[in-house]
Amino acid sequence: MLGVLARAAVGPVDALLTMAGEQKRCAVAYAIAFAVNVTLNLSLIPFYGLIGAAFATSLSMCFEAVNLFWVARTRFHINSFIWTGSGTNKRRMHG
């Protein structure tokens, strides 16, 4: 559940990157997340079973979300995090 919330918190960054011609960076982010997922699954399943698999997948989804967020932030200076613009950092429009 935590991984799904992390992906939702950064929005559809993968679609944005793909539309902007950065699909190779998306593929690299997915490949790294896949490697993290496999590594964590191989190390956690023998000890924790199904709970270990769920935890590994959730962590790899969080890693994927952070990685995609970071790529969008560095390439396009876009902060896609869900709470962007809230609080004191909110820009105000003046007429």
Q: What is the mean pLDDT of the chain?
A: 87
pLDDT on residue 84: 67
* pLDDT tens digit sequence for 16-56: 999 999 999 999 999 999 999 999 999 999 999 999 999 99
Burial grade of 66 (CB within 10 A; 0-12, 13-18, 19 or more): middle
pLDDT on residue 91: 52
pLDDT band at 85 (very low <50, low <70, confident <90, very high): low
- Distance, in Å, from the CA atom of 50 to the CA atom of 41, rounded to the nearest integer, reads 10
**Which residue ranges make up each domain of the chain?**
23-77
Mean pLDDT score, 58-76:
93
